[in-house]
Structure 1
Amino acid sequence: MRITYLLFLGSLFLLTSVQKEEADPPNIIFIMVDDLGYADLGCYGQQVIQTPRIDALAAEGIRFTQCYAGSTVCAPSRSVLITGQHTGHTTVRGNMGIGGVIGLGGAAGRIPLQAQDTTIAELLKTAGYTTGMIGKWGLGEPATTGMPDQQGFDYFYGYLNQRRAHTYFPDYVWRNDQRVEFPENENSRHNDYIQNHFLAESLDFIERHHKEPFFLYLPYTLPHDEYEIDHQGRFADSTHWTEPERTYAAMVERMDRDVGRVLDQLDKYGLAENTMVFFCSDNGAAQRWDGRFDSSGPLRGRKRDLYEGGIRVPMIVRFPGQIAAGSSSDLPWTFADVLPTLCAIANVKPPVNIDGSNLWGHFMGQVSEAPLYDRTLYWEFHERGFQQAVRKSNYKAIRLGPDQAWELYNLYNDPGEEENIAEKFPLITKELSGEATKEHVPSHFFPILREGVRRKVVLIGDSTVKNGSKDEDLCGWGEVLTPFFDTTKVEIINQARGGRSSKTYLKEGLWAETLAMVGEGDFVIMQFGHNDGGPIFTQKERGSLLGTGEGFQIEKLSSTDQADTVHTYGWYLRQYIRDTKAKGAIPIVCSMVPRNRWVDGAVERTADSYGGWAAQVAREEQTYFIDLNENVAAIYDTIGEEQLWKQYFKEDHTHTTCYGAELNAKSVALGLRELPYCPLATFLNLPK
């Protein structure tokens, strides 16, 4: 076992030495196909489907037998690859989360990479690489921060949305930020096969950039279902096979042919000797094809499982003359290692907040091999509940739900994960479960949701949310919100405080006290503004600066003669939103309920001030927003000023009666119902 490892170690030492002498960094081509099983290639044991070009690639380079995808499904696996962070840390941890945008395929909850994410492409660009991607992206919809050109790619051609990538006969794809129409496929016609275009674009990219260092990422969609191909080739007459079997086999062989043509293009331009080529799959096989292709081989499970069949993938790396041909390695590693490894090759410093290891540096012989074999590898999966898996050395622990028992397997003698040895080795099980706890950082996009546990709905704001008056006729809307919810599923906790502004709620420590009770999967509904327009450094000293910017002002408070720093209204809202997200909870911003103040026959709105600023901050922070100001004002307009004073307000134009508070509370509930893909809406108790 160690012989091949030491051979690989020696070859990588040679690679590092040669690179130091070369002026030009190597080109990098990373080919990642879609849903290819661990055993779907001849070089990994496939007996039926023929893959001669990829088998030759393995014979010319190194074949890894224990490489792991970033996740067991599409988007999170790609996010791990691109960011170098495992699924306990990376932004995109599932195909769909909470919030985000409605994708081109029509599904809500598409989470894009964020502006603060650092990607492989961005890092390689700093080393002078031209960066291109052709195939399926899946990490950002149009006009989001996740668009390829916002994440370091100079050129992109393909699918942005993974659901639209299910067809191989699209009516359009994208070139950079522009749609490319496929008129031959309109009206569900199947005339123009996308893989032909992916191949042509790949060859063209190499031709255009063969005189400069380039990074070409090729996330091809073959052989993902739908199982479609323009011609089944030698399988067309296999009448003893099912139609999906014939098509799948033809798709894998087409994939193999096209990988070969990409390699031929390198030969044509004399680039093979200075190009590092990776080949892998994004996760395990979508179908096991047991008895036909045996796509998972001896491994348990398939795509959407955290068992080996769902995450262990073929991985081949070729660098002629540098990596020993025909070598193999049993080193366990994951997609998170790709970013730091490529950074080492390009002589770029990787970010500090990554989970992957620089394989080249370790293989240079500067450290022993033990840390690579004994380090912790981690996965979490947010479909089908919340699943986790941890591997350390030969042991792997897996849990199929947050309230289920951990399973333990020794992969050295049980790669098929047939014998659960958790009870035999409780200390190892406990150690690995503890590692899982450490590796998971809460995400508001992908909170852990436990069955049977009531989730908190925490309210923060001023007296229009919680009046606090001794007058029993006056209420804030948060005090009468509970009847609009299923209280067996959620608990309404009203932490609002009368007389507070966005500034003073934070400065007085009320937010710290509230935040301590917020947990992963909970909700925080916030509404401020009524007191933010008052004096800042005098009288009640509760005003904030106007607007949403980063500006601040320092002056002495009249009450204490001590200097105080004050920020904008929007700045304070951002703190609440970001702190909420950091706990893995879900923030919901409301514009402030309107006052009973009339201008030109209509209730006064705040769209050009606090209402508009709240909307802007929610939009920029990519969180939910309810325009409570406009929604309630529209109702007030129909009720009329006289009737409002009779029933809805008592002595001043800000504080409602309990009857008026019920109208506002119902408006909050109705606003929640209208939010796209807001999980809190599922707990509403509203009449149809």
Structure 2
Amino acid sequence: MWSRRIWTVVIVVTIAVTAGLWGHLWAQIKKAPSGPGGTPPRSQAERKPGDDEESLKDALVRKLKEALDSADDVADEDRDTADRILRDADRALTRIREENRRALEQMNRQVRIKDGRSPNVVLFLLHDVGYGDLGCYGQQTIETPMIDLIAAYGTRFTQFYAGAPESVASRGTLLSGKLTARGRQVGDAWVTVRPEDSTLAEMLFQGGYETGLFGVWGAGPVEAAGHPNSQGFKTFFGYLDDASAADYYPAALWQNGTQIPLAGNQNGGKAQYAPDLIVESAKRFIDAKAKRPFLMVIAFPMALSGDGTEVPDFGPYADKDWPTADKARAAMLTRVDGYVGQIVSRLQERRLLSRTITIVTSDNGPPQAAEDRFLATAGLRGRKGDLYEGGIRVPLVVRWSSCFRMDCCECALPFGMWDALPTLVDLTGTLRRPRAIDGASIVRRLTAPANSESPPPASPLYWERHVGEFAQAARVDNWKAVRSGTNGRWELFDLKTDVGESKDLADSQPEVVQRIEQTVKGLRP
């Protein structure tokens, strides 16, 4: 008899509470603006239920236990039956919780958007572009008029750092919000994003954003870093790795999980130039997603071999008395600047530019060169692969949307690529907050008074090189330390007076070296 009464209580309470929750969800969804839904395809094992989801299960189990505990004179054998039923009910309620989690995600995507005022985010991620390669950073030879125009109407950051001195690790820090120290060796690459990480794209997708990546994924092998689609980018078109991105006339490109043959490039043909196709795909994405906020990352293939075959022509540099490699590099930068102009023009045509945060940066410093015709590092020491400033200090230009304004056209705030994730979460008002990351939002630091007695917290500035000989670098205030090997001698530079890192002060400033040593020890996993 008691078993029947217990089951009756279980069924009635479960139905009542669940029906009430779904009624609330349906009421919220009906009030939400229309738009496409969908949830990320990650496996449940990769997802961690939020506190609200646990509270739902706990509340249901508590109500069931209260109902059972209120019964008087229940025999011990009936208590055993009750305990078994509760265990069965707990499993059933866990399944209900998962269904409710999916419904809550759907509701979040529907009601999160604030009357269409959430800013779009368009991030142009250049490859191997140095601190001095753009006109707005002093370049005198290579033409980059569109990026210079974005800088003129936005903010040029003078102390922004790539995540690493090589591209794969650097892109991972952008996506994961974590330092290179959190990565792992996978084949020849140091991978700093994992399939289970909550990436920048996934954060914004769960916050109601449409997300797209166009160009090069290049954050590591898919089995180690995940596929763009499973890492939050619901639309992907381009290359999965740097090796394939070196072919500018490929036989096929990836569209989400499918390889799309390029008819004009079969059997050695060169009728379809991949960067052109990538930009056209990005423009179609803008057209299709214009009614909802979106995150769009365009990571241009820009690897150069030196023979000039990576560009269809040398453009304005064709008649220059330069080596072919220099003509190709200048032509590539100017061509990419033109692509940036095409995307910005499409945003303007769709009346989206005023509510779009437009970002231009690079994944690391310029490649090694026998002759630095273009002064690609603007006098900074080191190149790609080095932890001196020339290898990791890169351009960053931001044109703000109407959601956030900065009056200054130049900003000397030092921060790193791992800060992009929490900063963009802040700027977009995304409800889901990042956890277990190294980056920190710079929004409060940008707006805080210069003489503030309690400045907002900043993330650590720390890098590792895992390609070739292991090396480390760290910056504390204006002090920068670099060393090769885990027990090598630290070099120490004062960037305030010696941005070219020409004078080693380690012997005269042992207390600063010790301070940096302790900082590094606290950051190593």
TM-score, scaled to structure 1: 0.56
Superposition deviation, residue 394 in structure 1? 0.5
Aligned counterparts of 1:263 and 1:151: Cα–Cα separation in 2: 26
Match of 1:27 in 2: 120
Query: Secondary structure at the residue paired with 1:82?
Result: helix
Aligned counterparts of 2:381 and 2:443: Cα–Cα separation in 1: 31
The residue correspondences of 1:443-462 to structure 2 (distance < 5 A) are: none
Match of 2:375 in 1: 294
Aligned counterparts of 1:378 and 1:355: Cα–Cα separation in 2: 10
**Deviation sequence 1:379-402 (CA, Å, 0-9, x none):** 011122210000011000011222
Q: Does 1:317 align with 2:410?
A: no
Aligned counterparts of 1:36 and 1:109: Cα–Cα separation in 2: 20
Match of 1:351 in 2: 434
Q: Does 1:378 align with 2:462?
A: yes
**Mapped contact 1:43–1:58 kept (Cα < 8 A):** yes
Aligned counterparts of 2:348 and 2:453: Cα–Cα separation in 1: 35
Aligned counterparts of 1:157 and 1:187: Cα–Cα separation in 2: 22
Match of 1:339 in 2: 421
Aligned counterparts of 1:118 and 1:184: Cα–Cα separation in 2: 38
Aligned counterparts of 1:426 and 1:20: Cα–Cα separation in 2: 53
Superposition deviation, residue 115 in structure 1? 3.1
Match of 1:500 in 2: none
**Mapped contact 2:162–2:394 kept (Cα < 8 A):** yes
**Mapped contact 2:353–2:401 kept (Cα < 8 A):** yes
Aligned counterparts of 1:112 and 1:69: Cα–Cα separation in 2: 13
Supply the AA of the counterpart residue of 2:340: V
Q: Mark the CA change 1:163 to 1:42 in structure 2 (over 3 Å): closer, same or farther.
A: same
Aligned counterpart in structure 1 of residue 251 of structure 2, from 171, 183, 186: 171
Q: Mark the CA change 1:358 to 1:20 in structure 2 (over 3 Å): closer, same or farther.
A: farther
**Mapped contact 2:116–2:293 kept (Cα < 8 A):** no
Aligned counterpart in structure 1 of residue 361 of structure 2, from 280, 298, 308: 280
The residue correspondences of 1:139-218 to structure 2 (distance < 5 A) are: 139-141=219-221, 146-218=226-298
Superposition deviation, residue 363 in structure 1? 3.2
Q: Does 1:394 align with 2:447?
A: no
Aligned counterparts of 2:115 and 2:370: Cα–Cα separation in 1: 46
**Deviation sequence 1:146-180 (CA, Å, 0-9, x none):** 00111111100011111111222222221101112
Supply the AA of the counterpart residue of 1:24: R
Moved more, 141-150 or 276-285: 141-150
When Rg is computed on C-alpha atoms for both structures, the one with the higher figure is 1
Q: Mark the CA change 1:304 to 1:140 in structure 2 (over 3 Å): closer, same or farther.
A: closer
Query: Secondary structure at the residue paired with 1:247?
Result: helix
**Higher RCO (Cα < 8 Å, 6 or more apart):** 2
**Mapped contact 1:65–1:328 kept (Cα < 8 A):** yes
The residue correspondences of 1:529-568 to structure 2 (distance < 5 A) are: none
Aligned counterparts of 2:379 and 2:456: Cα–Cα separation in 1: 24
The residue correspondences of 1:356-367 to structure 2 (distance < 5 A) are: 356-365=439-448
Q: Mark the CA change 1:375 to 1:275 in structure 2 (over 3 Å): closer, same or farther.
A: closer
Aligned counterpart in structure 2 of residue 75 of structure 1, from 137, 155, 168: 168
Aligned counterpart in structure 2 of residue 128 of structure 1, from 185, 194, 208: 208
Supply the AA of the counterpart residue of 1:178: T
Match of 1:368 in 2: 452
Query: Secondary structure at the residue paired with 1:422?
Result: coil
Moved more, 168-177 or 331-340: 168-177
Query: Secondary structure at the residue paired with 2:159?
Result: strand
Aligned counterpart in structure 2 of residue 405 of structure 1, from 477, 483, 489: 489
**Deviation sequence 1:471-520 (CA, Å, 0-9, x none):** xxxxxxxxxxxxxxxxxxxxxxxxxxxxxxxxxxxxxxxxxxxxxxxxxx
Supply the AA of the counterpart residue of 1:192: Q
- Give the gaps of 5 or more residues in structure 1: 1-18, 100-107, 442-688
**Mapped contact 1:130–1:214 kept (Cα < 8 A):** yes
**Deviation sequence 1:601-658 (CA, Å, 0-9, x none):** xxxxxxxxxxxxxxxxxxxxxxxxxxxxxxxxxxxxxxxxxxxxxxxxxxxxxxxxxx
**Mapped contact 1:396–1:409 kept (Cα < 8 A):** yes
Query: Secondary structure at the residue paired with 1:163?
Result: helix
Match of 2:315 in 1: 233
Aligned counterparts of 2:418 and 2:193: Cα–Cα separation in 1: 16
Query: Secondary structure at the residue paired with 1:71?
Result: coil
**Deviation sequence 1:555-575 (CA, Å, 0-9, x none):** xxxxxxxxxxxxxxxxxxxxx
Match of 1:540 in 2: none
Superposition deviation, residue 182 in structure 1? 2.6
Aligned counterpart in structure 1 of residue 151 of structure 2, from 35, 58, 81: 58
**Mapped contact 1:380–1:388 kept (Cα < 8 A):** yes
Q: Mark the CA change 1:33 to 1:414 in structure 2 (over 3 Å): closer, same or farther.
A: same
Superposition deviation, residue 365 in structure 1? 2.9
**Mapped contact 1:374–1:393 kept (Cα < 8 A):** no
Q: Does 1:419 align with 2:503?
A: yes
**Mapped contact 1:59–1:325 kept (Cα < 8 A):** no
- Give the gaps of 5 or more residues in structure 2: 1-111
Superposition deviation, residue 326 in structure 1? 6.1
Aligned counterparts of 1:109 and 1:40: Cα–Cα separation in 2: 26
**Deviation sequence 1:92-136 (CA, Å, 0-9, x none):** x5xxx246xxxxxxxx66858433211011110111000000011
**Mapped contact 2:246–2:303 kept (Cα < 8 A):** no
Aligned counterparts of 1:35 and 1:120: Cα–Cα separation in 2: 22
Aligned positions, number:
409
Query: Secondary structure at the residue paired with 1:29?
Result: strand
Aligned counterparts of 2:372 and 2:219: Cα–Cα separation in 1: 35
Superposition deviation, residue 347 in structure 1? 2.1
**Deviation sequence 1:382-441 (CA, Å, 0-9, x none):** 122210000011000011222320100011111110011110101101111221121111
Query: Secondary structure at the residue paired with 1:153?
Result: coil
Aligned counterparts of 1:253 and 1:159: Cα–Cα separation in 2: 22
Q: Mark the CA change 1:133 to 1:417 in structure 2 (over 3 Å): closer, same or farther.
A: same
Match of 1:264 in 2: 345
Supply the AA of the counterpart residue of 1:357: A
Structure holding more helix per residue: 2
Match of 2:142 in 1: 49
**Mapped contact 1:42–1:52 kept (Cα < 8 A):** yes
Query: Secondary structure at the residue paired with 2:253?
Result: strand
Superposition deviation, residue 188 in structure 1? 4.5
Aligned counterparts of 1:186 and 1:285: Cα–Cα separation in 2: 32
Aligned counterparts of 1:86 and 1:142: Cα–Cα separation in 2: 20
**Mapped contact 1:362–1:369 kept (Cα < 8 A):** no
**Mapped contact 2:212–2:297 kept (Cα < 8 A):** yes
Query: Secondary structure at the residue paired with 1:276?
Result: strand
TM-score, scaled to structure 2: 0.73
